[in-house]
Amino acid sequence: MVIFALKNSALEAIERAQNLAELETSYKAYLGKKGELTLILRSLANLNEAERKVQGKEANDLRNLLEKRFAERKKEIQREEIVIQEKLAIREHVDVTAPGKRLPKGHTHPLTLAQTKAEEIFQTMGFTVAQGPEIETEWYNFDALNIPANHPARDMWDTFWLKPKNAGHLLRTHTSPVQIRYMEKHNPPLRIIAPGRIFRYEATDASHEFNFYQLEGLMVGKEVSVANFKAIIEEFYRQFFGKPVAIRLRPSYFPFTEPSFEVDMRWNKGAWLEMMGAGIVHPNVFRAVGYIPAEWRGFAFGMGLDRLAMMKYQIPDIRLLYSGDLRFLQQF
């Protein structure tokens, strides 16, 4: 009975030991010179032969068991301590003198650079920056711009219609609807530009994307003319490219301007490049926003911002602008 109780308390003490010192203390308490089990083993000599045989076997079995468990637990603790030492020494070691890790910093995308530069230039010439939504209604994107339903001119803009189509919502195909939105809320005279993202239902190649950026312009006043338009655009290019740039106007067609023209610019004394559509605001556009057409005149234009950025930074493929490729982006 005494031995049975001793066995339980000794085994428990072995499990409880968290380090070698505690284990050693427990070992002494049971198997040391004055340990509980040692004393029992010594007292065996005082018993008669029959009792000695029974108790002697029990006590010796227990001693063997405890020696074995102590040895095992010692190995376990040693292994645990090595792991703890390694963690402290290597993985969780903090060198407070080491320099901090530098996080990579983002920077401005070339399209944004071009847009910001263009905004700054137009602002110095008295233009306000206006904005409109990317999801538009049929009215703002087409009808108010003198492009009625079933008019063949709608085919000029391959359109992403939002479902259901009869609800009349679409992804704006140009920034021209911002002209309408702005004029609805402001009286002339006015000068605005409207840079923004637009969408075309088109296949992509080196010069086409299904989404890109335009910069719209509108100036309305009493005596606004094509001569004013030409002067402002020439000044814009001069500042944007940092040198005088020759431009030419070619007759063209847009439903919201009359007359309409394409603006080409001469690149490095070589080819003429098409840069924007423009014209004198059509009377029906003024009517759509409640202006009296006889009282006001205006010019409008819409230029491709991607084109502008590609020329300024000599980017050969429009798709690079949307690739998110750091090898490309880090050059700016």
Binding residues for Mg(2+): 258
Task: Give me the half-sphere count of Cα atoms (radius 13 Å) on the Cβ side of residue 83.
Answer: 6
Nearer to ligand DAH, 199 or 301 (CB): 301
Least Å distance, CB 317 to ligand DAH, is 21
Does residue 267 contact residue 311 with C-beta atoms inside 8 Å? yes
* Site residues (CB under 6 A) for ligand DAH, limited to 157-196: 174, 176
Annotated binding site: 258
Please report, as a single letter, which amino acid is at residue 325: D
199: tokens are: 């969408």
Which segments of the chain are extended strands (E)? Answer: 128-129, 135-137, 169-171, 190-199, 211-221, 247-254, 257-266, 272-281, 297-304
Tell me how many residues contact ligand DAH (CB under 6 A).
12
Closest CA to 274 of 319, 207, 205: 207
- How far apart, in whole angstroms, are the C-alpha atoms of residue 44 and residue 48? 9
Nearer to ligand DAH, 26 or 146 (CB): 146
Nearer to ligand DAH, 30 or 229 (CB): 229
Check residue 321 for interaction with ligand DAH (CB under 6 A).
no
Nearer to ligand DAH, 3 or 289 (CB): 289
Among 35, 132, 279, 298, which residue sits at the site for ligand DAH (rule: CB under 6 A)?
279
Per-residue binder mask for ligand DAH (CB under 6 A), 300-319, x = binder: xxx-----------------
- How far apart, in whole angstroms, are the C-alpha atoms of residue 17 and residue 19? 6
Q: Give 218-231 as a DSSP string.
A: EEEESS--HHHHHH
Residue 278 phi/psi, 5-degree rounding, is: -160, 175
Least Å distance, CB 103 to ligand DAH, is 40
* Site residues (CB under 6 A) for ligand DAH, limited to 225-244: none
Nearer to ligand DAH, 26 or 257 (CB): 257
Does residue 242 contact residue 233 with C-beta atoms inside 8 Å? no
Least Å distance, CB 301 to ligand DAH, is 5
Q: Interacting stretch for ligand DAH, rule CB under 6 A, among 11-19, 64-72, 271-279, 290-298?
A: 271-279
Positions touching ligand DAH (CB under 6 A) are: 174, 176, 216, 254, 256-257, 277-279, 300-302
